[in-house]
Structure 1
Amino acid sequence: MSTESCPADHVDRPTDPVSGCPVSAGAAAFDPFGDAYQADPPEAVRWSRDDEPVFYSPSLGYWVVTRYDDVKAVFRDNTTFSPSIALEKITPVSDEAIATLERYDYAMNRTLVNEDEPEHMPRRRVLMGPFTPDRLAHHEPIVRRLTREYVDRFVDVGKADLVDEMLWEVPLTVALHFLGVPEEDMATLRKYSIAHTVNTWGRPSPEEQLTVAENVGKFWQFAGTVVEKLRRDPSGDGWMPYSIRKQREYPDIITDSYLHSMMMAGIVAAHETTANAAANALKLLLENRTVWDELCADPGLIPNAVEECLRHSGSVAAWRRLVTADTTVGGVPVPAGAKLLIVNSSANRDERHFEDPDTVDVRRDNATEHLTFGYGSHQCMGKNLARMELQVFLEELTRRLPHLDLVPGQRFSYVPNTSFRGPEHLWVQWDPAANPERSEPGLLDTRQPVRIGEPTTRGLSRTLTVERVDPTARDVVEITLAEPTGAALPSWSPGAHIELELGEVSRQYSLCGDPEDRSRYRIAVLRDPGSRGGSRYVHDELRPGTSVAVRGPRNHFRLDADTRHHVFVAGGIGITPILAMADAVCAAGGSYELHYCGRSTGTMALLDRVRRDHGPRLHEHVSEAGDRLDVTALLAEPTDGTRIYACGPQRLLSALDGASAHWPGDALRVEHFTTAGHELDPAVEHAFDLTLADSGLTVRVAPDQTVLAALRAANIDVPSDCEEGLCGTCEAPVLGGEVDHRDVVLTRSERSAGTRMMTCCSRACGASLTLGL
């Protein structure tokens, strides 16, 4: 790259002779083998996320990518960004080490991790079967049995190194069980696995390289011996016997050398990353004691806690890619032949994608969007096995040792390498006399359901206390909710809502307080005479001091701060989200008008506050006074830079939709809390195909199956929440085909564009859709 084509400022900055790019102080000092990176990679490259998200490291010889959108874009395009160097030794190997490997006939070849198309996807399709959620379910009993047995060994001791005494050996045994190979000596396999990691991603000295090479060579021979043993009788369970049987059907796709390489790589992939992820998770949770205590009190939070731990402190710090053509990454020109270190652990802590990313929040509703498992066609096939193991570990330890603590003063060490991390030791302590199983005989008989696959966000509630109940209009009460411990509540933005668990039902209510006040949430609820139980419960049961389970906040009714003029329309209790929006625009000095409609002033919630804060911009439309809102007149002339935000009864929203038909398609934005959703009728619906552009798969959606269900059955992660087309959580990009939209999230213009769909409810109009997944 010449200095003329480089986007960075060359003035007063040294230029790297290889890349031709100026090297900043941060780039020059970058050391992925140093203590800071090993202890916390995202923190070590925070400077990069903030100031230089794509930089060239002269000491490593790689371009380094650190922001979420850029990392995901690299994962998505496996043609421009080839995975072929993913297993390449990052440190040049000495001639002596090469000779040692040759003595063992070491010939590690391409695997699913590092092969290009067109070879990769045919193999992945053939070998995917054992990794799907329904096929993984039968592994849960052995995970539970092993975890119980290992905890039994130390539960009454009072002190343990969880890595040595549980977290390394259980995943290794599970890995061997999943692969279908006989269990071998644990200490030897551990040595082999570490050697493989250091050999590929580490920076061993010339002397250490000889020892590493010796162990890698022995590991290679061991893998070959096991393959030959299984080949003689491939009838058993496990991925390797399955693969050998598939070889008979697809000999050109699954070759002998491929099986040998996959055997060795599979042990490392299924074992070491899970062991490290478990150690990272427990260290993180015990360092954040209130979070650990939350899991002990509510094990239903464990599935999402696993995702949050994988996001915050996953075991996969970075991956590598080879650039195959001149391109740009994050707007920075990168030449063909360049090598990339894509720091997905940094992407997972990017504040541009994750709110307050350094905080451990086990109720984070987009934790599943982490990139620890990668993304696209090379996403980790074993992700759901790892999720299962982590859930069982956390369940067993939070139930049996809720009083667990980290041994104070210990120093955590890591095997130096660019890509995989976990503490080599994790010392914990507890008082055996306080073990709950000593006083609760039935404790060990309980089981928490394991979620095999990506968890939904439906169970992510927190218990809040009703602080105040204040009448604010006829049959309307304002409810103030607070965290009983006094802890700060999650932040929210105007238009957001929370969901309350009210007896046998759950209902969504818009927040109408001050987003800057993190100490409490405020909602206003109308007693509905036709209530199915929600509003009646609020009015009859909620009193100061009452506890209520709350989910959220979430926002699919967002305010566009760049709009030149805002027209706010509220009908009845629909004032709640509109008021928060008007407050925000008013505080920012923006242009707006507020139309508030009601039957009478006595039924209009929060009217005194609306008049006080928005009097000059307020237009009251009171039916009893003969002053109904004329929506046709209000929206007669489309105005550039104007958006209409509305919430209220369906007849008002329908009228606004009709009256704004001649406006730009995205001018009207409305808030819904109900849909006309219904069960799928296979006599009416039709089957269709989903082509997944980023994953290289084609998935069939049955007439009685949602797109969301079909994707999950194919091992494709898609987050979800309401699963009714209300919240927008399960949105997927559409690249081709016509969508039968059945949600109430997208605007008219968004539907017309056909570039997005809600996978929980919407379907294909024709025979196929292509999604960017």
Structure 2
Amino acid sequence: MTDPVRDLFDAKPEMARCPHLAYGPMREEAAPRWIERIQAYALTRYDDIVAVLRAPEKFSSVMASGPGSVTPLARRLVADPDTSSTLRAQAQRRLEISESAVLLNADPPVHSRQRKLVNRAFTARRVLAMEPSVEQLANELIDAFIDDGKAEMVSQFSILMPMTVIADILGVPAEMHPTFKRWSDAFVAGTGSMNLSDDTIAELFAAVDEFYDYFTEQIARRREEPTDDLLSAIVGARIDGETPLTQNEMLQMLVQFLVAGNETTTNLLTSVMYKLVTDPELMTAVRADHALVPKVVEEVLRLESPVQGIFRTANEDVEIGGVTIPKGSNIYLVYGSANRDERNFHEPDRLSFDRASEGNHLAFGKGEHFCLGAPIARLETRVGITAWLRRTKEIALEADPEDVEYLPSFAQHGIARLPLRFTA
């Protein structure tokens, strides 16, 4: 008899498609469950997760991306005597840079200082000013396939949209965009995937090294000649009484912006479209009133959270749900489960336009670590989906829904390919 929880953390295809087959039983247990595969206690209830997020003094963010991410991989490579000299040097460089705790994996007061320094680059005014260029980009991407009557959404739209936006924000020229995407893939490759081959690991660290080389040079250039991009804002960030960001802090911050600006929004865009093309009533309602698009986006964020979970480390012995979690233990906060917790959301598996009175979803986290790029992700998805609705009369899935392939990860949730046909 199969165990859905074990299958989930082994990233079996059926669980990658619907991790909620495991989340429901885990929530009913109430007590945190020890997951041997990821060496962490999994928390699945909304209130338990929010309590952890609101207590950074008890729960450190130092291992936020978990055991499958690039830094733990680097640690294992450096410790392995059989690692090649080239790969060892690349892994060592990653460890040296990652020693600078930054935003996602930083605790107060370091996180508070960094957040203050970069907040100005993510103001509502700055994000609102991006809308015309994001709308133009969405239409240019659709122009490339509108006459074909069909498109594969992930490769032809969902990847290109956020990649181009974050590349432009960081001042990366258009001819570098494919390379930029390859770097992003390298940093996200290990997250939630525990079975990487030696060749994949070597390619991953070669790409990571390229990223560091490129942006080390770009940081030096921005110091000499600042421009109107996010990288210049990071390099020049100054607040009275606060120490400027170090070189390694900036590089680590750029990694986080790269990944957050690409993979998560790609998955969100595709999941919103999948929901629309598999729910005719919803599609009809949204076509009749484009003002409903932001509500659909919020509900898909809750139902199909691109980031299914994040890690914390206990700074002291703590008791949760009757279980004592020892100091130093890793805790996996399962956002995807919390966002369908029946104790917090009425009819949690149903998309509803009226959840204003219910608990807020955790797709972007909560508290001081709430995602800096959330306004940009929301903007890109709202504008991108609205552009599809305006440019087409009908959109249909050109595949059986059961054949739609999902990414093989327990931490990242998204569709690998989404073939569509439409009438212009």
Q: What TM-score do you get using the length of structure 1 for normalisation?
A: 0.50
CA distance in 2, matches of 1:287, 1:336: 46
CA distance in 1, matches of 2:254, 2:276: 33
> Which residue of the other structure, out of 100, 109, 118, is the alignment partner of 2:87?
100
Aligned ranges for residues 454-533 of structure 1 at < 5 Å? none
Is the CA contact (8 Å cut-off) linking 2:65 and 2:191 kept in structure 1?
Answer: yes
Distance 1:366 1:195, change over 3 A: farther
- Alignment partner of 2:228: what SS? coil
Give the aligned partner of residue 170 of structure 2.
179
Give the aligned partner of residue 374 of structure 1.
365
- Which one-letter code corresponds to 1:262 in the other structure? M
> Which residue of the other structure, out of 17, 38, 42, is the alignment partner of 2:20?
42
| Cα offset, 1:409, TM superposition | 2.6
Q: Deviations over 1:294-317 (max 9, x none)?
A: 110111111111111111112111
Is the CA contact (8 Å cut-off) linking 1:307 and 1:367 kept in structure 2?
Answer: no
Is the CA contact (8 Å cut-off) linking 1:100 and 1:217 kept in structure 2?
Answer: no
| Cα offset, 1:284, TM superposition | 1.9
| Cα offset, 1:97, TM superposition | 7.3
> Which residue of the other structure, out of 339, 350, 368, is the alignment partner of 1:359?
350
Distance 1:307 1:322, change over 3 A: same
Aligned ranges for residues 672-711 of structure 1 at < 5 Å? none
Give the aligned partner of residue 419 of structure 2.
427
| Cα offset, 1:60, TM superposition | 2.1
Aligned ranges for residues 131-530 of structure 1 at < 5 Å? 131-203=122-194, 204-234=196-226, 236-247=227-238, 252-366=243-357, 369-409=360-400, 411-431=403-423, 435=424
Is the CA contact (8 Å cut-off) linking 1:65 and 1:343 kept in structure 2?
Answer: yes
Which has more helix, going by share of residues?
2
- Alignment partner of 2:236: what SS? helix
CA distance in 2, matches of 1:381, 1:97: 38
| Cα offset, 1:258, TM superposition | 0.9
Q: Deviations over 1:240-260 (max 9, x none)?
A: 211212259677241121112
Distance 1:365 1:231, change over 3 A: same
| Cα offset, 1:153, TM superposition | 1.3
Distance 1:117 1:248, change over 3 A: closer
Is the CA contact (8 Å cut-off) linking 1:83 and 1:113 kept in structure 2?
Answer: yes
| Cα offset, 1:225, TM superposition | 2.7
Is the CA contact (8 Å cut-off) linking 1:66 and 1:344 kept in structure 2?
Answer: yes
The structure having more radius of gyration, on CA atoms, is: 1
Distance 1:160 1:31, change over 3 A: same
Give the aligned partner of residue 84 of structure 1.
62
CA distance in 2, matches of 1:97, 1:429: 48
CA distance in 2, matches of 1:45, 1:257: 37
Q: Deviations over 1:343-398 (max 9, x none)?
A: 10111011111111111223433577110000001110110111111110121112
| Cα offset, 1:211, TM superposition | 2.1
Is the CA contact (8 Å cut-off) linking 1:101 and 1:217 kept in structure 2?
Answer: no
Distance 1:168 1:26, change over 3 A: closer
| Cα offset, 1:419, TM superposition | 1.9
Is the CA contact (8 Å cut-off) linking 2:87 and 2:202 kept in structure 1?
Answer: yes
Distance 1:386 1:98, change over 3 A: farther
CA distance in 2, matches of 1:98, 1:84: 28
- Alignment partner of 2:411: what SS? coil
The root-mean-square deviation of aligned C-alpha atoms, in Å, is 2.4
- Which one-letter code corresponds to 1:35 in the other structure? P
Aligned ranges for residues 720-731 of structure 1 at < 5 Å? none
CA distance in 2, matches of 1:420, 1:238: 28
| Cα offset, 1:26, TM superposition | 6.2
| Cα offset, 1:101, TM superposition | 5.6
Q: What TM-score do you get using the length of structure 2 for normalisation?
A: 0.89
Counting matched residue pairs gives 408
Is the CA contact (8 Å cut-off) linking 1:53 and 1:67 kept in structure 2?
Answer: no
Distance 1:366 1:277, change over 3 A: farther
- Which one-letter code corresponds to 2:127 in the other structure? L
Q: Deviations over 1:704-756 (max 9, x none)?
A: xxxxxxxxxxxxxxxxxxxxxxxxxxxxxxxxxxxxxxxxxxxxxxxxxxxxx
- Which one-letter code corresponds to 2:220 in the other structure? E
Is the CA contact (8 Å cut-off) linking 2:268 and 2:414 kept in structure 1?
Answer: yes
Q: Deviations over 1:629-656 (max 9, x none)?
A: xxxxxxxxxxxxxxxxxxxxxxxxxxxx
| Cα offset, 1:184, TM superposition | 4.3
Is the CA contact (8 Å cut-off) linking 1:26 and 1:48 kept in structure 2?
Answer: no
Which has more strand, going by share of residues?
1
- Alignment partner of 2:306: what SS? coil
Is the CA contact (8 Å cut-off) linking 2:45 and 2:341 kept in structure 1?
Answer: yes
CA distance in 1, matches of 2:171, 2:67: 28
Q: State percent identity of aligned pairs.
A: 27
Distance 1:123 1:341, change over 3 A: same
> Which residue of the other structure, out of 58, 61, 70, is the alignment partner of 2:48?
70
| Cα offset, 1:187, TM superposition | 2.5
Q: Deviations over 1:273-306 (max 9, x none)?
A: 1111111111122222211211101111111111
CA distance in 1, matches of 2:211, 2:408: 20
Q: Deviations over 1:145-198 (max 9, x none)?
A: 100111111112111011111111111111122234434433222222111111
CA distance in 1, matches of 2:284, 2:359: 22
Structure 2 unaligned runs (5+)?
none
| Cα offset, 1:115, TM superposition | 0.7
Distance 1:264 1:27, change over 3 A: closer
CA distance in 2, matches of 1:287, 1:229: 48
Aligned ranges for residues 534-683 of structure 1 at < 5 Å? none
Distance 1:30 1:311, change over 3 A: closer
- Alignment partner of 1:128: what SS? helix
- Alignment partner of 2:299: what SS? helix
CA distance in 1, matches of 2:84, 2:146: 43
- Which one-letter code corresponds to 1:162 in the other structure? M
Distance 1:356 1:103, change over 3 A: closer
Structure 1 unaligned runs (5+)?
1-23, 436-773
Q: Deviations over 1:43-79 (max 9, x none)?
A: 3322111234521112221100111111111111112
| Cα offset, 1:37, TM superposition | 3.2
- Which one-letter code corresponds to 2:363 in the other structure? T
